Amino acid sequence: MRESSGGKLRPTLGLFDAAAVGIGAIIGGGIFVVTGIVAGLAGPALILSIIVAAIVALLTALSFVELTGWLPAEGSVYEFAHRLVSPFGGFLAGWMWVVSNTFAGAAVSLGFAYYLVALFPGAEYRLIAAAVCITFTAVNYVGIRQSAALNNILVSGKVIILMVFVAFGLSHVNSDNFTPFIPSELGILNGAYFIFFAYGGFARIAVAAEEVKDAKRVVPRAILLALAISTVIYVLVGAVAVGLIGAGNLGRSNSPLVEAIGVVGNPLLVYLVSFGGMIATASVLLTSILGVSRMAFAMARNHDLPTVLSKLHAKHNTPYVSILVAGAVMTLLVLCVDLTGVVAVSTLAQLFYYGSANLSALRLKADARLYPGLLPAMGLGTCLLLLGFVSPSALGMGLGCLAVGGVYYFLNKRRTRPRR
């Protein structure tokens, strides 16, 4: 098998494919798994947590729209920060992207396993999560066109199932479950921190911009379209779920939407929503592996990560080494970490690289701007605000990952520095 290192990826994705990658990355672990965590923190006001997180995501999305229009490159925030902030700032942004999306992949794999166990009690959920990681690593290995085609099917399926959930659940909503609506104002922001984990997927297509046709025009449209559709679905589903069983019951469940639809008394709906949870989390895992591998590829192509990660498969034109490494690390994580922990670390890393994107947008020259400089400044400020809700354990793990990345960067630069 002939292979190349540091080559170019072929553009094969259109607007529908690109938007579906974004929707596939957003609607998954957040609505099917993290909803329970957020309900436990914000109570019925989880709807407000969803809206707050959406506003933060929108401000950052506008920065991505500007930056992608300026430079539609594989690697996204890594390339933006590298050129507009500093090479070291770019490396840290890319490194934390890899950390965030690796942990996100582990989280949605566990989510998949929880929903499968809801259908088949007694199954070993960690082994199921590991198996699904390995399966979708193989799908990514054979090509982005194949991955996108499967993702389109998964996205269509889960959106239809969520609309069924809303349609059948509405008639069984109990208004008493919304009282008191705001048990804690602080809980709303704390909940927004966790639900922001889900919105992180909106920019995943920007990382694969080199593989999108007419990326300068299509990627920004896909980002905003994915964010808008996903927010509407999140609010509808969140409101109905609270109305069905109350925030307290949602907060105690690993498969909250299955728990909620059980009130309707239709076993077929329980099976359908469980299946929806599996395909939703599966599609996020599919795009997580895609995102991590493309970021690692871009960084390796610039010699910021081992160059072996930039090898392209001669037949499939995929960064196959990066894909295999990303899948292997996610598989190991699901065997030894818990859901809340991986979500917290993923969100911390996500806020770091989104802060880097907003900072990069602030550094754009006036002739490259689409929006006033106040918007990226607000995006940066809201990212910093949510960082205030990081748990001490997640903060420690996140800073540890950041420190490992920083040490690697300087050791790597010292090793590759030309000798006099």
Tell which residue, 90, 71, 104, 106, has the closest CA to residue 352. Answer: 90
What's the distance, CA 201 to chain centroid? 3
Report the pLDDT value the prediction gives residue 420, as an integer from 0 to 100: 39
The two structure tokens encoding residue 245:
């069983």
Residues of the chain with pLDDT under 50: 1-6, 418-420
Q: What is the pTM of this model?
A: 0.82
What pLDDT is recorded for position 253? 83
Q: What is the pLDDT, as a whole number, of residue 8?
A: 63
Q: Structure tokens of 313?
A: 């498969």
- CA–CA gap between residue 15 and residue 191 (Å, rounded): 32
Q: What pLDDT, on a 0 to 100 scale, did the predictor assign at position 419? A: 41
Structure confidence by residue, pLDDT tens digits, 102-142? 988 888 888 888 878 877 888 888 999 999 999 989 988 88
CB atoms within 10 A of CB 242: 28
pLDDT of amino acid 29: 62
pLDDT in tens, 392-405: 888 888 899 999 99
Write the single-letter amino acid at 357.
Answer: A
* DSSP label of 176: G
Name, in order, each residue with C-beta under 8 angstroms of 290's C-beta and a sequence gap of 6 or more. 21, 140, 144, 147, 204, 207, 208
Q: How far apart are CA 216 and CA 118, in angstroms?
A: 43
Sequence spans of domains, the chain: 10-410
Per-residue exposure over 386-400, b if at least 16 CB sit within 10 Å of its own CB, e if not: bbebbbeebeebbee
Task: Write a three-state SS string for 285-331.
Answer: HHHHHHHHHHHHHHHHHCCCCCHHHHEEECCCCCCHHHHHHHHHHHH
Q: At 297, list the tokens.
A: 């590829």
**Residue that is written with structure tokens 């960690």 in the block:** 126
Read out DSSP for 145-161? HHHHHHHHHHHHHHHHH
The highest-level CATH class for domain 10-410 is mainly alpha
* Residue 1 pLDDT: 41
The DSSP code for 351 is: H
The full DSSP string for 40-102 is HHHGGGHHHHHHHHHHHHHHHHHHHHHHHHH---TTTHHHHHHHHT-HHHHHHHHHHHHHHHH
Model pLDDT, residue 135: 92
